[in-house]
Structure 1
Amino acid sequence: MPSNTPTNFHHPYQPYDVQFQFMRAAYEVLEKGSGQVGILESPTGTGKSLSLICATLTWLRIHKRSRYEASFEATSAGMAGEPEWMVEAALRRKREELGREWEERERVLEGVRLREREREREAAAARGRERGAKRARVDDGGRGAKEVDEEREFLIGDWEGGGGEEEGSGALSKETRELMEKVGLGGGGKRREEGDGEVEDEIKIYYTSRTHSQLTQFISELRRPTFPPSLPEELISSSAKDGEKPTTETVKQLPLSSRQKLCINPSVSRLGSLSAINDRCTQLQQSKSKEKCPFMPNTENLKQTHEFRDAALATIPDIEDLHRVGKELQVCPYYASRTVIPGAEVITLPYPLLLQKSARDALGIKLEGNVVIIDEAHNIMDAVANVYAAEIRLSELRRARQILGVYVKRFGKKLKGENRVMVAQVGKVVESLIECLNGQLGAKGDQGILDPNTVLKARGADQINLYQLIKYIQESKLAYKVESYVSYTEEEHEPSTSAAANTARSTPVLHILVSFLTALTNLSAEGRIFHEKLSATPPDIKLSYLLLSPTHAFSSIASTARAVILAGGTMSPFDDYKMHLFPTLPTNKITTLSCGHVIPSSNLFAWTLASTKPIPLGSTSPLDPFEFSFQHRKDPAMIRQLGLVLLNVCSVVPDGVVVFFPSYGYLDEVVDAWQTQDAATAATQPTLWDRLAAKKAIFRETKGGVSEDILQQYSQAILSPPPPAPSTSEQQQPPKRKPNGAVLLSVVGGKLSEGINFSDRLGRCVVVVGLPYPNIHSPDWKARLEYIESTALSRLLDDGAGAGPGPAETQKARAQAKQAARDFYENACMRAVNQSIGRAIRHRGDYAAVVLVDRRFAAERIRGKLPGWIMAGMAESADRKGLQGLMGGLSLFFKGKKGGPP
């Protein structure tokens, strides 16, 4: 451990050894300096989020104090040759000034905190009563009223092509940027108004996770620890009241989100879809807009905007808190949040806002020199692909053609110059896509890859400048105006029909079109376009854009941030992150760590079941092996043997057993087989399904089903108290044995395999059936693996020395490239397995068994991709001992545990 790594990370509890290990690793990544990457794995249940908070905030406060001290040294060096008394006087003035600024800021924020607590008390005392002055009301434009000025409301304004600053879908309008700069609310690295004492280039920690609930949970954890002030102790004055110096400083945190979560204007927020809210919001800011949003920060509500800023910095708020404060102060939380960014130390935001450069620019996020933490990072490559993915259906394109026709019929003659040309180009693109999909609808095959050059070939649409067209649609608000006008006319004629149609379409079709066209402008080498026929009446077909590699899209983050930490409960195997997110980064800049679990070793039982029969001495292969590969998984004998294994496991394991299958389709096949009566034993034995149901209540995840309902029923079957003992008269008949606990049949990669905890009694055993490899014959996986192989080959050949590689070197490079693709494919499978395994043990006192049913789990290559804590708990030579060995091991494991074998 480097000498400058602290021993106190201000953890609110006594940390476990693995938590110390994790915190030290995270701290050292940040301390090493620019361009560092940490890939850190700590099993769920080990306090990973709190460890991240303690490590990074401890580093940040130490780093801030060191910067103050460095500034004093620079002042001394700059006054070299001056008399010593002058140098000391200058340093003293500087210390006093910094101390006063810090103390004044903390005094203001403490006052805000006291007012917030008083407001909370008032709200609790007067719950349900309307507080404060009557809220401002915004007219929704009179939709459906006779006096609507259709041309003013829906006609596209003048647009000058080719000029102006390019904006993302969520960017500030030109008018808003000018207004906010006038009142001193701009971002972009400018100093806040005089006396505020915060500078935009203060180093920040950007923390991102997958879901809103995960971010809320992180913010809740952020409120637990306390940290020392960011100012050196000698610069802080003692309190006049008690003579004590403050020893802590509240963390300055800001949650960023979309307008959809933060908008307080009822006429905008009711629109529902993010794209419609964005367009309506920016339209209300434009100079020609009939209505202006009364909540926009401006010179009239500057005081409220500053109050919003101070409340956010004082209280560690979540998104709901920002929305509430904005509503109380009558100022827009989405835009007022920008005033908080300069003073914030930690900024939380969901994946899409961090991963898209246009979204970062719109929010004023600057990554240069700052720290990026990506939590739940096991799916970060998929998240990057999803952010840049897009799809559109033939039915949506037909709807787009229809509404464009309605709009042009009403306003076509009033469109002038550039507007007329650009609207015609939008129509031409729509027609071209319709012709393309109509052709694929009649072609053979349900899915495949399309040449991007053919997608816009019809009607000459391939000659259109897509960049300019996308920019036009966004800046002119064409999509919003067309959708709004058509919705207005439909409400006029058939209100109920229109309401139903608007409910069915969560995202307006012209916004879907813009997203798809934007995807088409990505680097062609990194993406593919797929078509897929959909089972619908009438027939429908879908075009999808898939980003094959996250490398280019992620490079703007990896190359600019001071440090990037990828953290997760199941990050193994690590190789994909290095190869596809940081391919050019030297190995000495990447730190990896796989922590053990906080549980004692006696609380984990891990076993590989290769066959029901033990391997005879002198043999290397099991008899009648379990191998759930695509070629063998339909074997009726193996499916029956699997049922018998599960029947035995449920006889020994108390409470809950969760079984993960490789796919929904295979789960259905297995269940059908278990429910089918064997003709040879029909008269004497019940089905395997009935025998299993007698052991434990059975629950089953279904594709498209509601996972919350299944989980609740499964939990009730395990946690509900047993029925009362029968009376003496009722005991004359032999009592029928009640099921002990429950078994849940689920799917790897399904809703129950990620983000749901099967802690304690809910998950005493996790069984993984087979290796859930993706369908290698599907067009998207074929394209992905071909891309990885070709890029790996190109890189290997480019690394060759001299005038070029010879035949032997080329052949070796091809073999290595094929292996790189196979590794990626296998790693995707094992990440899914590891996620499923991680559902069981959730805290130090928890215990569970993990049974991997497939002989391939015994291969060294596969075992090496399991998390370290699972490998450490794997029974030695388990794959050779068969079902009898498994049952003996399970019995011993649960013997003596609370709630042991039934």
Structure 2
Amino acid sequence: MAIFKQPVKKRKINNSRNLDVSNGKSKSNDDSIMTDDSSANNSLMTEDEDENIEPKIENNLPKKTKAIIPVIYFCTRTHKQIEQVIKELQRTSFNNARSCVLASREHTCIQDSNIYYPQISYKSKTELCRDLLDPRARRRNSIKLRRQIDRCNYYDNGGVKISTYGQLAKFGVPSVWDIEDIVRLGITKHSCPYYGTRLLLKTAEIVFCPYNYIIDPVIRRTMNLKLKGHVIIVDEAHNIEDQCRDAASLQLDQTNMNLAKADCEKIYKSSGNSVTYGRLARYLSDLSKWIDEKSNDIKTYDEYNRGVLSWSGTYTIASFDDFGVGLKAFEIFKKDCDTALADLAEENESDETKNSKKENIENELGDENETIENNSSKDQDPDSAITNATKTLLSSICSVFSLFYDEKYKYDYHVSLVKVMQLKKFEHKERGIMTGIGGWLNSGPEEPKDTRPVWNNVVSFLCLNPAAVFDELKSTVRNIILTSGTLSPMQSFQSELGTQFPIALEAAHVIKQDQCWVTSVSVGPSGTDLNGQFQNINTYDYQDEMGKVLLDVCTVVPHGVLCFMPSYTLMDKLYNRWQLTGLLNRLNQIKVVMCEPRRGDQLEELMAKYYAAVRGDEGGPRGALFLAVYRGKISEGLDFSDNNARAVVAVGIPFPNYKEESVKHKKDYNNKHHKNKGLLPGWEWYQIQAYRALNQALGRCIRHKNDWGAILLVDSRYEQPKNQSGLSKW
């Protein structure tokens, strides 16, 4: 665990636990030190939610104390981990704290696309929601489907039935609730859980969310999260370096950029007098010209019809000036983006206000509102603001380019251009429904008439310094607490994040030594060396020997066994080989064999089958073997306590793919700057990434003080002391 404390000016204020209000003054038996920052906008109580507090006491409280209580933002990687933390919080004496869980529409939307658009297959709940809330999309879809499309009926309740903690208590929902609780209530009360939680956020004392909500500036602004003066706890913080680099990086797809340009041009032409959208379109057009010019320099292509060029960030900035997209042009672009986003917010607010007025009139006039509905739809200009897709793209460009042009970080970027052949669907006639990513992609009941190969360009602005994002966080919040079982070595976190953590704790495990048996396996039952380097894993000798090791483990170990591998490629290779040799059949006679799916939406059903097999619910083999990958969903956040994982088999050492552009450039960056920035040399950084992933997977085995199990490190390289030193202290 590592804790960053924001240096603050301190002042003494009177604690309000013991107040004398007889003369309008407040007294306290003890003093509390609190920050002089009044931006923490969440008090512990609100008038309508705590009826026990007397008005005269509330009125006599010093005004500045009401907004001083910091909110705790608890972040972790997955919603499954959030669910586990909430269960633990419910067992404590703090189970009356007002909590809020932030989640995507995929987890909280209760709408059914078949009600509105049965002819359209939506890829996500987000696409559906955006179409139902966008008046332009509703109008286009109404014309196409030849029927009136109203705004989402759940949203029209505005979350009002589940928007305060008083309402939650009235309906039997505890202050500390989980996503399932709020979704169930939303269905019962016919009210949107997604927007309801955003209203609950305003008075929450502790907020749970995936950590990209806090780390990614674009998501943070979209959710309107104000972090100044508050406390952030990042669980599973071994991933925070990658998360920060990703948040400061950007992939620009030229096709999407041209769609955004067309969107801005359309508004410019329809509005007639708004130069803002004309300038936005011109900036995107000039940026597209830069991409075209650089794309023409690509002369060689790989077997996938892919060509790549790359440059330093400083070279790219210099070349931007030649195309009219330099720093001065970007500063104007950024202001224009703010205007466009404000216009979109105003249009959405206007649409919501009209809907509210329409509801009031409906209540008074009953069935005589048909004319009002028709007139309301006519008044709405469908081209007065950008689409949500354009909003996302413009916001991302502004966020990343602000860092990219910053003198402090311009040496921390590497830019690459990938030109690739893609299959594109063409229609012989234009269709009227705009769905897909925020309204860009056309879709509908018609089948595509033609598919052709076309070239597309994608530009990646790769940030190599996680401090570029972390600097803003640490300068804003009161405290940041990083916690994980695999933070070590702490030094790398401090250097990578550019932050000193004055409070650090490295603890031993809570179990006794006889509860966990750890060993390395260098050779298999047949004496074959189990060195998991690339040149060995493709041999049948290695693949067959690894299967024999697992067969022996599954024969001896009861219940659940987890086996982690460096990649899906190796997992598939071993599985196919064992299927061919008959070894897979022998494994299935002992335990039910399962493989971690690549798609996250398939995991929940598979996990239910795994737990059932461990319990022996369906007869047959008692127990299960789960083949998984390091850095996958199985390695983090899922519950494998007790019989669910009596052994963890760790195959190989999970070094990152050194051929990946991000890994290669990060190693080079650290080698170049390790002295002046205090970073670890590239090779040391590379090794640490492997052992963090390894230790995270090993941690699936022992989950509480009474748990027990075995850990097997299957690779002859673990015999070397240098490879043992990377294992966690616990």
TM-score normalised by the chain length of structure 1: 0.56
CA 1:612–1:314 in structure 2 vs 1: closer, same or farther (change >3 Å)?
Answer: closer
| 2-structure distance, mates of 1:399, 1:68 | 57
Select the residue among 501, 518, 523 that pairs with 1:611.
523
* Alignment: residue pair count: 599
| 2-structure distance, mates of 1:606, 1:647 | 18
Equivalent residue, structure 2, for 1:591: 504
Equivalent residue, structure 2, for 1:717: 613
Q: Does 1:701 align with 2:587?
A: no
| 2-structure distance, mates of 1:222, 1:524 | 43
Equivalent residue, structure 1, for 2:411: 525
Q: Does 1:602 align with 2:514?
A: yes
| 1-structure distance, mates of 2:597, 2:542 | 23
Identity %: 23
Map 1:393-412 → 2, pairs under 5 A: 393-400=253-260, 403=263, 411=270
| 2-structure distance, mates of 1:271, 1:647 | 43
2:531 alignment partner, SS class:
coil
Equivalent residue, structure 1, for 2:531: 627
2:676 alignment partner, SS class:
helix
Select the residue among 820, 823, 833 that pairs with 2:694.
833
Map 1:468-617 → 2, pairs under 5 A: 468-477=332-341, 508=389, 511-512=392-393, 514-516=395-397, 518-522=399-403, 523-532=409-418, 536-537=422-423, 538-539=453-454, 540-583=456-499, 585=500, 589-597=502-510, 599-612=511-524
| 1-structure distance, mates of 2:555, 2:216 | 51
Contact 2:566 2:654 in 1 (8 A): yes
Q: Does 1:859 align with 2:720?
A: yes
CA 1:826–1:754 in structure 2 vs 1: closer, same or farther (change >3 Å)?
Answer: same
CA 1:214–1:645 in structure 2 vs 1: closer, same or farther (change >3 Å)?
Answer: closer
1:771 alignment partner, SS class:
coil
Select the residue among 90, 93, 97 that pairs with 1:251.
97
| 1-structure distance, mates of 2:61, 2:585 | 75
1:226 alignment partner, SS class:
coil
CA 1:570–1:213 in structure 2 vs 1: closer, same or farther (change >3 Å)?
Answer: same
Task: Please give the per-residue CA displacement for 1:696-750, whole angstroms capped at 9, x wherever unaligned.
Answer: 3332235447333433343343333475xxxxxxxxxxxxxx6553322221122
Select the residue among 651, 665, 674 that pairs with 1:783.
665
Equivalent residue, structure 2, for 1:374: 234
What is the identity, as a one-letter code, of the residue corresponding to 1:581?
Answer: L
Equivalent residue, structure 2, for 1:391: 251
Equivalent residue, structure 1, for 2:67: 200
Unaligned runs of 5+ in 2: 32-43, 117-123, 136-150, 349-386, 404-408, 424-452
| 1-structure distance, mates of 2:589, 2:193 | 61
CA 1:639–1:332 in structure 2 vs 1: closer, same or farther (change >3 Å)?
Answer: closer
| 1-structure distance, mates of 2:247, 2:676 | 27
Select the residue among 743, 762, 770 that pairs with 2:644.
762
CA 1:71–1:552 in structure 2 vs 1: closer, same or farther (change >3 Å)?
Answer: farther
CA 1:278–1:423 in structure 2 vs 1: closer, same or farther (change >3 Å)?
Answer: farther
Equivalent residue, structure 2, for 1:154: none
| 2-structure distance, mates of 1:766, 1:306 | 43
Contact 1:273 1:507 in 2 (8 A): no
| 1-structure distance, mates of 2:83, 2:416 | 36
| 1-structure distance, mates of 2:91, 2:525 | 52
CA 1:107–1:533 in structure 2 vs 1: closer, same or farther (change >3 Å)?
Answer: closer
CA offset at residue 774 of structure 1?
A: 0.8
Larger of the two Rg values belongs to structure:
1
| 1-structure distance, mates of 2:226, 2:580 | 59
Bigger shift: 272-281 or 523-532? Answer: 272-281
CA offset at residue 772 of structure 1?
A: 1.0
CA 1:199–1:434 in structure 2 vs 1: closer, same or farther (change >3 Å)?
Answer: farther
Contact 1:35 1:559 in 2 (8 A): no
What is the identity, as a one-letter code, of the residue corresponding to 1:372?
Answer: I
Select the residue among 75, 90, 95 that pairs with 1:223.
90
Task: Please give the per-residue CA displacement for 1:326-353, whole angstroms capped at 9, x wherever unaligned.
Answer: 9879997577557526xx4x34444234
Map 1:102-501 → 2, pairs under 5 A: 109=49, 111=51, 199-226=66-93, 250-255=96-101, 272=126, 315-316=175-176, 333=196, 336-337=199-200, 340=203, 344=205, 346-356=206-216, 363=224, 365-368=226-229, 370-400=230-260, 403=263, 411=270, 414-437=272-295, 440=298, 443=301, 446-447=307-308, 449-452=310-313, 453-454=315-316, 456=320, 460-462=324-326, 465-477=329-341
CA offset at residue 768 of structure 1?
A: 0.9
CA offset at residue 828 of structure 1?
A: 0.8
What is the identity, as a one-letter code, of the residue corresponding to 2:613?
Answer: A
CA 1:457–1:628 in structure 2 vs 1: closer, same or farther (change >3 Å)?
Answer: farther
| 2-structure distance, mates of 1:310, 1:689 | 53
Contact 1:527 1:548 in 2 (8 A): yes
What is the identity, as a one-letter code, of the residue corresponding to 2:716?
Answer: R
CA offset at residue 755 of structure 1?
A: 2.1
| 2-structure distance, mates of 1:250, 1:196 | 25
CA offset at residue 780 of structure 1?
A: 1.2
CA offset at residue 306 of structure 1?
A: 11
CA offset at residue 652 of structure 1?
A: 1.4
CA offset at residue 555 of structure 1?
A: 2.0
Task: Please give the per-residue CA displacement for 1:615-660, whole angstroms capped at 9, x wherever unaligned.
Answer: xxxxxxxx85321122433333233222222222222122322211
Map 1:53-132 → 2, pairs under 5 A: 68=14, 94=27, 109=49, 111=51
CA offset at residue 769 of structure 1?
A: 0.8
CA offset at residue 825 of structure 1?
A: 0.9
Q: Which has the higher strand share?
A: 2
1:272 alignment partner, SS class:
helix
CA offset at residue 831 of structure 1?
A: 1.1
CA offset at residue 853 of structure 1?
A: 0.7
What is the identity, as a one-letter code, of the residue corresponding to 1:473?
Answer: C
| 2-structure distance, mates of 1:211, 1:315 | 21
Contact 1:608 1:852 in 2 (8 A): yes
TM-score normalised by the chain length of structure 2: 0.67
1:594 alignment partner, SS class:
coil
Q: Which has the higher helix share?
A: 1
Map 1:647-658 → 2, pairs under 5 A: 647-658=551-562
CA 1:571–1:279 in structure 2 vs 1: closer, same or farther (change >3 Å)?
Answer: farther
| 1-structure distance, mates of 2:274, 2:47 | 58
CA 1:371–1:722 in structure 2 vs 1: closer, same or farther (change >3 Å)?
Answer: closer
| 2-structure distance, mates of 1:274, 1:722 | 38
Bigger shift: 442-451 or 544-553? Answer: 442-451
CA 1:862–1:306 in structure 2 vs 1: closer, same or farther (change >3 Å)?
Answer: closer
Task: Please give the per-residue CA displacement for 1:558-585, whole angstroms capped at 9, x wherever unaligned.
Answer: 34544322112433443322221244x2
CA offset at residue 434 of structure 1?
A: 4.8
